Structure 1
Amino acid sequence: MFNRNKNQIHVLEKIKLKPSRFNIILKKNNEEIKLYNSYTGEIIKFSNGTKEKVLNILHRREIKFEKGDKWIDLLYNKGFIVRYDTDEYKKATAQKFKLLSENRTLHLILLPNEDCNFRCIYCYEDFLKKEMKTHVKKGILNFLEKELVSYKNLNISWFGGEPLESFNVIQELSEEIKVLCNKNKVDYFADITTNGYNLDEEKFKKLIELNVSNFQITLDGNSQTHDRQRIKKDGGPTFNKIIENLVNLKNTSYEYSILLRSNISKDVSEVMYDYIDLMRDLFKDDPRFLMHFIPVLNLKGEQSSNIHLCNTKDLFPYYEYAQEQGFNFNFYKGFMEPGGSECYASNPNSYVIGSDGMVYKCTVAFNNPLNHVGDIKENGEMELYEERLSLWLSGGANEDPNCTKCYFRPACQGNACPLEPIEAEKTPCPPIKQNLKRYLNLVEEDSIYG
C-alpha cells in the first residue's frame, strides 16, 4: 500500500487510519498539549495553531490519509496514529518478546552481606544471614563462566543488607567478573543500592574502577527526620556522615550517577522543602546527582504502627518545587518506554542470589517460600524449582482484562509487580501509571512543534 523513506510516507492510494489505543493526551494549558504513546515511548508537544489541528485528527475514530497532510504524516511516523486494521494488542505482546530477544542481558542481584549497619524503622529484612559464603562466590563465578556465552550484556546489582559491609566480597567478585566478561566479549555494567554510610572516597574510587557507575542512596528529609527513620544498629545518627561522603564524591571527576531516594512519610513531608533547599545548595550544579521521591511503603506489617504513610499524589508539590530549584526528572522517561515499568522479577533473565546461595526473584519477599525459586551450587549449576519460577514469569497481561485494555500496557506488560498476583491474586498498576499525566509534566519532550 505504501512504503517509508526517510521517515516519510509516500502514499500510493488513500488508506484508512485510526488513533493508537496507547495514546495519552495531556492538555497543559489553553495553548499547549503533550502527547505520549506507550508503544513507542514518544513524547511530543504541540503549541499555538498546531494544537487544534492535531486534536482534530486524534479525536476522529477513522482518519483518511491523503498525500500532503503533514500533521497526519507526522503523527503516523511517531506512532500516534496507526493503520485501521492494526491489532495493537498483538503488536504490544510481540514487542515484549522482541525486546527480550534483542536485549540479551543477564541481570544478577547479588547480596554480599545480608546484615546491615542500619536498623531503618520501615525495613522488611530480618538480618539473620551474614556475609556471602565462599562456595556461593565460587558458584556465581562458575555459573557466569557457563552462561555468559549466551548473552551480550551483564548487569550486576549489589544489594543487601548493606553491601558495603562486605566490600571485600564486591571487590573479589567484581575483579573476576570483569575477566570473564572480557573473555566472552560481554559488556559489563554494575550498580549498587547502599545506605552511603561506608561510601568513603577510597571505596568509591575502587567501585568506579570495578564498573559500578550507578548508585542509589537514601536520604529521608533533613537530619532530624532521617535520623529517626534511618538509625544505626547501635542507635546512632547517620545523616551527617552520609552528607559528608556525598560532598566528597561530588568533588571527584568520575562519570557516575547518584540517585538520592527519599522515603517520604508524613513526618518527612513536613521538612521536604528544607531538604530540597539543602540538596539545591549542595548538588544542583552537578547533573550526576538526581532526586527520587516515593511514599514510605508498608513492607513489614508489625512496624506499620510506627510509620505515618503518605500517598504518591502528595509528592508532586515537592517535585515541582525541586524543578523550580533546578533539578530535572527526565530519568522518569525510562519508566514510560516500552518495558520500562516491568519489574525485574518478571524477567526470565534476572535472578537474586543470597549470601547463602538461595536464588530468589524478588528483593522484598525473602521470607515468602514461593520467592525461593532455586539454589546455586559451587559448580555453577543453578538448580531451579520450575513450578515456583513459573509464578513470577507468567505475568498478568494476557489474562487480566484490565491489562489487555490498558493504554499503558506496552510499558508494564501486566508485570509491574509479579509478587501481588502471587500473594493477593490481583494485578497491580505501576505507580507511574496511576499519576501518569503529572509525571509527564516532569519530563522534557522529545520534540516540539509550534
Structure 2
Amino acid sequence: MSTSPALRASHYLAVSPAVGRRAFRMVYSTRSARSLLVSDADWADVQHGRIDQLPVALKSALVEHKILVPAHEDERAVVVAHNKASIKSDDMLYLGIAPSANCQLGCDYCGQKHENRRMDDAIMQGVLTRAEHKLAQRGGYRRLQIGWFGAEPLLGIASIRTLSPRLQALAKEHRLAYSAQMATNGVALTPRLFFELVEQHRVMAFDITLDGAREFHDQRRVTKDGRPSFDTILNNLKGIAADPRFASCGAWISIRCNVDGRNHDGTIALVETLREQDLLRHFRFYTAPVHSWGNDAHLESLSQQRYADFEVDLLGRLMDAGQSPSLVPKALKPIVCMSVREEAELIDPYGEAFNCTEVSQVPAYQEVRFYRLDDVRKPAISPPKARPFADWNDRILAGEVPCHSCRILPICGGKCPKHWTEGISPCPSIKHNIEARLTLEMVRLNRQGRLVNRSQ
C-alpha cells in the first residue's frame, strides 16, 4: 500500500499578515513565483506540521505552488540546478551595444568618463562579425535581442542607423525573432526620433530617467555646461504620449527615478507631476536605489530597509493614482543578468567586449582586465577567455555569498555578482518589504472584488 510522501513548508516563502474578517493570508512561493490565499487556521496547521489535517484540495494546491515540498528535498540544490539548466538551454543571444562614449549630461553619481567617441566602421563590422560567429558556433538560438546603451546611445544614432538594419537582416537570415531595447537619458528622444526607433529599428522598450520633481532632478542631472534637463525630457514624453501612433505602436516606456538620500522626498512630487500631465496612464514608473559605478555613489543611498519602507509607501500611492505597479514577481529569475549568459556581452565604442554593462568607460576599471573579454576588431580568441561569473551559481551553492540561504533566491538570482565580488550588498528591496507588498496585493484584489480563497 503506497503512502504519500512526507511534506513540509518550503524555505522559499513569504507570508502576509492575516487580513479581513475571514482572516486570510497571502502565501507567496518564490520557488514558483505564485501565491495562494490561505485561511489563518489552515496556515496554522501548516506551521505546526499538521499537513494531513488540511483539506485535500488545499493540500494539492499548496504542493502545486511549491508552498509544500517533499520533507527531505534539498531545495537550494534544486533551485541552483534549475538556474544552471536555464542558462545552458537559453535560446536568446543578447548583445549590448554602446554606440557612443559621450553624454549630454554630467550626473553627479555617474562613474563613467565621457568622450566624443562613436563606433567607427571597423568596430561596427566587428560587432556583426562577432554576432555571426556566435550564431555559427552554437545552435539552438531562437532570439536575437539588442540592448542599446551608453554613455548616451542617441548620441550614436548614426551608428544605430547603420547597425540596426544589418542586425535585423542577420536575425532574419538565421530565422531568429528580433527585439531591441534602449536605456536613454531622454534628452534627445523627440517624438520624431522615438517613432523612427520603434518603426524602423524595432526598439520596443525604453528606460528613461527623471530623478524626482524638477527642482530635485535639475540639481543632479544637468548638462555638461550646467543647464537643466527636466523640462526637455518631460516635454519629449508628453509629445510621445500625445501622438496618436503611440497607443498602437506596441512600445513600452519606463520612467526610472534613481533614489538616494538627497532626492527621495522629490519622488512623490514627481509622481504627482506625472499624474497631472496624464503620463502615468501611458508609462510605467519605478524607482531604483543609486548604486556604485566604480565610485562611492552608493554611500549617498538610503539604507536598504529605509529604501524598502519608502518604496512600499510609493507603491501604495501609485495604486491610488490608478497605476498597477508590479508588487511581486510573476516569474522566476534563473538567469540573473547578462554576465552569466554563455555568449552575451556588451561591446563599447572602443571595440572592447565585456560581460557586464557597468564596466566600460569607468576609470576605476580601466586597468582591471578581469571583465574585458576581447577586442572585436581582432580575430576571436581561441579558446575564448574564461567569462567572469560563469561559476556564479556554483558559488551560491557553495555558500560563498549570503544568497545561498536567502528565501528570495529563485526570484532574485543573486542580483549582482559584480557587487558581491566588490564587497557591496546588492540585495533588492523586495527582500526587506515582501510581506508589505503581499498586503498591498491583497488590497488590490479586494478593490477588484477578487479576495477569495483561490490561487492568484
State the TM-score bracket (shorter-chain normalisation).
0.7 to 0.9
Contact 1:14/1:64 (<8 A) preserved: no
Alignment deviations for residues 118-162 of structure 1 (CA, whole Å, 9 cap, x no partner): 111111101146211221110111122232353111111111000
Please report how far the alpha carbon of residue 226 of structure 1 lies from its aligned counterpart in structure 2 after TM superposition: 0.9
SS in 2 for 1:386: coil
Q: Does 1:250 align with 2:241?
A: yes
Q: Residue 410 of structure 1 corresponds to which residue in structure 2?
A: 410
- Which consecutive residues of structure 2, in runs of 5 or more, have no partner in the other structure? none
Listed as ranges, the matches of 1:40-119 within 5 Å are: 40-46=32-38, 50-53=39-42, 55-61=43-49, 63-64=51-52, 69-119=56-106
Whole-angstrom distance in 1 between the partners of 2:350 and 2:115: 11
Structure 2 Cα separation of the partners of residues 29 and 272 of structure 1: 29
Query: What TM-score do you get using the length of structure 1 for normalisation?
Result: 0.86
Query: Secondary structure of 2:16's partner?
Result: strand
| Superposition pairs of residues 46-445 of structure 1, within 5 angstroms | 46=38, 50-53=39-42, 55-61=43-49, 63-64=51-52, 69-128=56-115, 130-148=117-135, 150=139, 151-209=141-199, 210-251=201-242, 252-253=246-247, 254-283=249-278, 286=281, 288-299=282-293, 301=295, 309=302, 311-313=306-308, 314-330=310-326, 333-334=328-329, 337-339=331-333, 342-366=336-360, 367-368=364-365, 369-378=368-377, 381=380, 386-387=385-386, 389-391=387-389, 393-395=391-393, 396-400=395-399, 402-413=402-413, 415-424=414-423, 428-443=426-441
* In 1: Cα distance, 2:202 partner to 2:416 partner: 28
Q: Which amino acid aligns with 1:434?
A: H
Whole-Å Cα distance in 2 between the matches of residues 267 and 407 of structure 1?
31
Structure 1 384/61 Cα, relative in aligned 2: closer, same or farther at 3 Å?
Answer: farther
- Paired amino acid for 1:273: I
Relative to the length of structure 2, the TM-score reads: 0.85
Q: Structure 2: which amino acid aligns with 1:264?
A: V
Whole-angstrom distance in 2 between the partners of 1:308 and 1:21: 30
Looking at structure 2, the residues matched to 440 and 190 of structure 1 have their Cα atoms a distance apart, in angstroms, of 32
Q: Give 3-state SS (helix, strand or coil) of 2:323's partner.
A: coil
Specify every segment of 5 or more residues in structure 1 that has no aligned partner in the other structure, as ranges.
2-11
The alignment covers a number of residue pairs equal to 428
Q: Which residue of 2 aligns with 1:7?
A: none
2:263 counterpart SS class? helix
Change (3 A) 1:267 1:86: closer
Superposition RMSD on alpha carbons, in Å?
Answer: 2.9
Structure 1 counterpart of 2:323, one-letter code: F
Question: Deviation per CA, 1:243-289, whole angstroms, max 9, x where unpaired?
Answer: 11101111223111111111123332233332111111224563x41
- Separation (CA, whole Å) in 2 of partners of 1:341 and 1:399: 18
CA contact (8 A) 1:37 1:79 kept: yes
